[in-house]
Amino acid sequence: MRLSIIGTGYVGLVTGACFAKLGHTVICVDIDPEKVQKINNSIPPIYEQGLDNLLSTYKENLTATTDYQTALKTTDVTFLCVGTPAMKNGSIDISYLKEATKQIATTLKNKQSWHLVVVKSTVLPGTTQQIVLPLLEKHSGKKVGTDIGLAMNPEFLKEGVAIQDFLQPDRIVIGFYDEKSRTTLRELYKNFACSIVETSLSAAEMIKYASNAFLATKISFINEIGNLCKKLGIDTYEVATGMGLDSRIGRPFLDSGIGWGGSCFPKDVDALITWAKEIKEPTRIIESTKQINADQPLRLIKILQKHFPKLKGKTIGILGLAFKPDTDDIRDSRAIPIVKELLRNGAQIKAYDPQAMDNFKTLFPTIEYCESATDVLSSDAILITTKWKEFTTLNFQGKIVIDGRRLDQAKNAKIYEGVCW
Ligand code: NAD
């Protein structure tokens, strides 16, 4: 098929590159000319394992442009993958989505053939039908359902393993407005081995929010159990193994530690809570999930203060700034509240991350960034905040290590304590 992708962030570019690999002709659109140039030179603007290889191998059928006209006139299906970032009030900012929709609609005004618009960005239930649909009709002068198809196809990829997740998903959700949109997407995804769930537009939107809220809850739940286990002298990871073998529960997302971050869980959980307030429905479980997650990283500092009641003037090493390993994404990384709290207490910070230091520098330009993980080890104490594989080869002997991520190799440190163990 001939596909256009609007927005070339983690979701858009991975979607585009994977569809190109599957033999489709893909044109990516972004408002950022620098990203567009990089993609056309087969350089990924983000760090995601395997993306560089896909961009160079499939460059014949993957191009990028800033021009909607170029992209839409030669393609039949457009995926909307622009960001829907958090706003201060907890809801999401859909201004990028609205702007991109307007641009798509204006471009489709002069197109004769049927065109399918697929929302892939994470949006609150009702958005595709109540906001995207009217904008498409208003600015194109066409009718959605006859001249233009509309669908909602949420994305569940995990940064770090995004390509694998896209190509081998657990399921594909197709929310559709009209029959032709449903059959077009069915055809596009026909060679995927997983289940395909076909739903209403708003059920597709809700599946994404419910899934993320549930996964965040699973982590906060095991962190609460982990805090209990630590007090009782029980190994929370043994408990997780025992629980996880129950097929109704499953082992993933039962690693207790300093909690969840990233571009999705925090903003999706916030958006759900804020939206539920607007429609006057309580979200007691989800609010607790959020609260536990806010408290958890600060427990690491409390443990540190057992050894250094006064942090002023102490040098604290931070191993890991990305919100999880194998990504350069620092959005809502648990390292952020930890660094803030350390700075508030007057500590000096030496930090290292294999991929995320440039991004972290935009938030904390004045802390010291080390050239290697080994350089961090000269600090008075070391906090492990992201479980990068390269940290497993460090020699922690003689060091004080407070671990937020259960890095077993650090247990030979002079003093070692974990947040929940
Ligand atoms: P991102 O911020 O990394 O990328 C968004 C891109 O859209 C940017 O490159 C930006 O320049 C571009 N853009 C903004 N306005 C545009 C416009 N009018 N026209 C063309 N391009 C425009 O975002 P992301 O992390 O890829 O997330 C995209 C969406 O997917 C969000 O709704 C997010 O919640 C959802 N999502 C993200 C992930 C993830 O792991 N990152 C996973 C699943 C779903």
For residue 10, report the distance from its CA to the centre of ligand 1, in Å.
Answer: 7
- Buried b / exposed e over 186-217, threshold 16 CB at 10 Å, is eebeeeeeeeeeeeebbebbbbbbebbbebbb
Which residue's CA lies nearest to atom 41 of ligand 1?
10
* Domain formed by 298-418, architecture: 3-Layer(aba) Sandwich (3.40)
Instruction: Return phi, psi of residue 86, to 5°.
Output: -70, 145
* Burial class of residue 398 (count of CB atoms within 10 Å of its CB; 0-12, 13-18, 19+): exposed
Measured distance CA(202)–CA(208) in Å, rounded: 10
Give the Å distance between the CA of 297 and the centre of ligand 1.
27
Among 28, 229, 264, 420, the active-site one is: 264
What is the Cα–Cα distance from 26 to 284, expressed in whole angstroms? Answer: 43
Fold of 209-295: N-(1-d-carboxylethyl)-l-norvaline Dehydrogenase; domain 2 (1.10.1040)
Which residue's C-alpha comes closest to atom 28 of ligand 1?
83
Mutate to test the pocket of ligand 1, among 66, 67, 81, 329 (most ligand atoms within 8 A of CB): 81
264 is catalytic: yes
Best residue among 263, 329, 332 to mutate for probing ligand 1's pocket (most ligand atoms within 8 Å of CB) is 263
Helical (H) or strand (E) element with 301:
helix 284-307
| b/e per residue 330-360 (b: at least 16 CB within 10 A) | bbbbbbbbbbebbbebebbbbbbbbbbbebb
State the closest ligand 1 atom to the C-alpha of 84, by its place in the atom list counted from 1: 32
Asked if 120 and 80 count as a contact pair (C-beta separation under 8 A), the reply is yes
- Mutation test residue for ligand 1: of 10, 32, 332, the one with most atoms within 8 Å of CB: 10
Tell me whether domains 2-199 and 298-418 share a fold. yes
Q: Which residues line ligand 1 (CB under 6 A)?
A: 6-12, 29-32, 35, 81-84, 96, 99-100, 121-122, 155, 157, 159, 263-264
Q: For residue 155, give Cα distances in angstroms to 119, 208, 291.
A: 10, 8, 26
Q: How far, in Å, is the centroid of ligand 1 from the Cα of 222?
A: 30
Residue with tokens 């630590």: 230
- Rounded to the nearest 5 degrees, what angle is found at the Cα of 253, between the Cα atoms of 415 and 305? 25
Query: What does pTM read for this prediction?
Result: 0.95
Under DSSP, is residue 73 helix (H, G, I), strand (E, B) or coil?
Answer: helix
From the CA of 65, how far away is ligand 1's center (Å)? Answer: 16
- Digit-by-digit pLDDT tens for the chain (421 residues) are 999 999 999 999 999 999 999 999 999 999 999 999 999 999 999 989 999 999 999 999 999 999 999 999 999 999 999 999 999 999 999 999 999 999 999 999 999 999 999 999 999 999 999 999 999 999 999 999 999 999 999 999 999 999 999 999 999 999 999 999 999 999 999 999 999 999 999 999 999 999 999 999 999 999 999 999 999 999 999 999 999 999 999 999 999 999 999 989 999 999 999 999 999 999 999 999 999 999 999 999 999 999 999 999 999 999 999 999 999 999 999 999 999 999 999 999 999 999 999 999 999 999 999 999 999 999 999 999 999 999 999 999 999 999 999 999 999 999 999 999 9
Burial of 247 (0-12, 13-18, 19+ CB in 10 A): exposed
What is the number of H-type helices and E-type strands within the chain? 16, 14
Nearest alpha carbon, ligand 1 atom 3? 9
pLDDT at residue 263 in the model: 87
Query: Hey, what CATH class is 2-199 in?
Result: alpha beta
Q: Whose Cα sits closest to atom 2 in ligand 1?
A: 83
Q: Whose CA is nearest to atom 30 of ligand 1?
A: 121
Domain ranges of the chain: 2-199, 209-295, 298-418
The rounded distance, in Å, linking the Cα atoms of 62 and 25 is 6
* SS3 labels along 319-369: ECCCCCCCCCCCCCCCHHHHHHHHHHCCCEEEEECCCCHHHHHHHCCCCEE
Whether the CB-CB separation of 386 and 325 falls below 8 Å is answered with: yes
For residue 230, the SS3 value is helix
Atom 44 of ligand 1: nearest residue by CA position: 155
Ligand 1 center to 58 CA (angstroms): 22
Residues 6+ apart with CB under 8 A from 77: 1, 2, 3, 4, 115, 116, 118, 184, 188
